Amino acid sequence: MKYILTDVEGTTTSISFVHEVLFPFSKKHLVSFVKKHSSRTDVKNILEATKASALKENQKTINDQEACELLLHWIETDRKHPALKDLQGLIWEEGYASGEIKGHVYRDVLPALKAWKNAGLTLGVYSSGSVKAQHLIFEHSTEGNLRPFFSNHFDTAVGHKREVGSYKNIAGELKLSPSDILFLSDIKEELDAAFEAGMKTIQLVRQDDVIVGDHLVARDFSEIKF
């Protein structure tokens, strides 16, 4: 084994951090952020992409304010639209930079990352959160700046987390055999896909409500043995 690939939500980080801190933060600051930065090209592009979706899906031409309302609706319905993801990344960046948000990382994670690095392993992240969101969580985390520990970040640009092909793509990009990679996640279906691609798997079961599959199980990172 040469490489450890970890999921974020439910694995390094509590699920409630995403749903009770990050999403509400982006919702609360969305309108004011767009107003404050409306002349920025990235913000303009996000609004244009949102308007284009409204036109295509609802045959409706909408203005900036309505685009904001639609983006807020997408947060509520957990729609993973690229424009929303981009905008949330920008809003969170401001929150992390000001210290208003700190990325939650469980206490048992840092000692394990250190031990794995010392053992000569390479570490990476695969999350449905964007690469930018991953950078932010780990750079401004409750355990300090953990970003230097990770050599690679993957998001759904390589494919969805429950698809076998995504894990093959990751192994391909890393130029490693899948059997050299250990994948850590809380979600059975993701581990099933990684296993089918040839990776080793361990399921993190941090909470009682996790649906346990046929993989090795660890309650936290201190229990991960290989």
Which residue, 7 or 143, has its beta carbon nearer to Mg ion? 7
Query: Rounded to an integer, what distance in angstroms lies between the CA atom of residue 108 and that of residue 138?
Result: 14
Q: Least distance (Å) from Mg ion to the CB of residue 217? A: 14
By beta-carbon proximity to Mg ion, the closer residue of 155 and 186 is: 186
Q: Is residue 8 within 8 Å of residue 101, measured between CB atoms?
A: no
Q: Which residue has the closest beta carbon to Mg ion?
A: 10
b/e sequence 100-121, b meaning 16+ C-beta within 10 Å: ebbbbbbebbbebbeebeeeeb
Q: Read off φ and ψ for residue 143, nearest 5 degrees.
A: -105, 15
Take residue 95 and report the two structure tokens written for it. Answer: 């929150």
In angstroms, the CA 88 to CA 133 distance is 9
Closest approach of Cβ 158 to Mg ion, in Å?
16
Among 25, 46, 186, 191, binds Mg ion (CB under 5 A): 186
* Contact track, Mg ion, 4-23, x by CB under 5 A: ---x-xx-------------
155 binds Mg ion (CB under 5 A): no
Using the contact rule CB under 5 A, the part of the chain among 47-55, 66-74, 115-123, 183-191 near Mg ion is: 183-191
**2 φ/ψ angles, rounded to the nearest 5 degrees:** -120, -20
Binding region for Mg ion (CB under 5 A) out of 52-60, 76-84, 86-94, 178-186:
178-186
CA distance 26 to 162: 26
Supply the minimum distance, in Å, between the C-beta of residue 136 and Mg ion: 17
User: Cβ closer to Mg ion: 143 or 186?
Assistant: 186
Site residues for Mg ion per CB under 5 A: 7, 9-10, 186
